[in-house]
Amino acid sequence: MQDQPRSGCPINAAVEAFGDRWSLLVLRDVMFGNRRHFRMLQSQSEEGIASNILSDRLKRLIEGGLLTRDGAGPGQRATYSLTEQAIQLVPVFTQLGSWGLRHRPTTPALRVRAQLLEDGGPELWNDFMDELRETHLGIPRPRTGRASVEQRLDDAYADAQRA
């Protein structure tokens, strides 16, 4: 990733940080699928990412401050974690998903999470970001009494797959 964006445009700066197809999909899989290891990201990708592309995108996302990688020793699996910058992309991903729901063909099982996030609005997004902070940054989330967003997303996906 470049240290200086090509222009001072905020949209350009964002696109340079995370805007290519594979980077978005890697972030999606870490964020919504809790896929935090290289092999999981590669083998469980709906889109079939090649190992060299995945390796490159993980490196770029780390350099860009969107992911961290733990210091796994020899023979151990490295774990990738979202940074606060990446967690704050939840509303962006929700809006991208909402746009895709309206303007692109989707399947019921793969659209259900986007629909749940769209319907849940900012309160749900904030709850989800708090859950991600707890998982990835170790920051305890506030206890709201509401059901876990991660569990609601997983349940909705499982129900849609059975339908």
CATH code of the domain in which 27 resides: 1.10.10.10
User: Residue 5: inside a domain, yes or no?
Assistant: no
Residue that finishes a domain, picked among 24, 57, 83: 83
Q: Say whether both 132 and 148 belong to one domain.
A: yes
pLDDT tens for the chain, residues 1 to 163: 446 767 778 888 888 877 788 999 999 999 999 999 999 999 998 889 999 999 999 999 999 999 999 977 777 789 999 999 999 999 999 999 999 999 999 988 889 999 999 999 999 999 999 999 999 999 999 988 888 999 999 999 889 888 7
Confidence (pLDDT) at 2:
47
15 vs 84: CA distance, rounded Å: 17
- Number of domains present in the structure of the chain: 2
Q: Given this model, what pLDDT does residue 3 score?
A: 62
Domain that holds residue 119: 88-162
Residues 107 and 155 placed together within one structural domain of the fold: yes
- In this predicted structure, what is the pLDDT of residue 109? 86
The answer to whether position 2 is within a domain reads no
Could you tell me if 101 and 114 are in contact, meaning their C-beta atoms sit under 8 angstroms apart?
A: yes
Pair (41, 64) in one structural domain: yes
How many whole angstroms separate alpha carbon 42 and alpha carbon 39? 5
Residue 83 φ/ψ, nearest 5 degrees:
-95, 175
Q: Per residue in 116-143, is it b (16+ CB within 10 Å) or e — as a string?
A: bbbebeeebbbbbbbbbbebbeeeeeee
Does one domain contain both 104 and 65? no
Strand partners, 82: 67
Which pTM does this prediction carry? 0.89
Q: Are 112 and 159 in contact (CB under 8 A)?
A: yes
> Where does a domain end: 40, 67, 83?
83
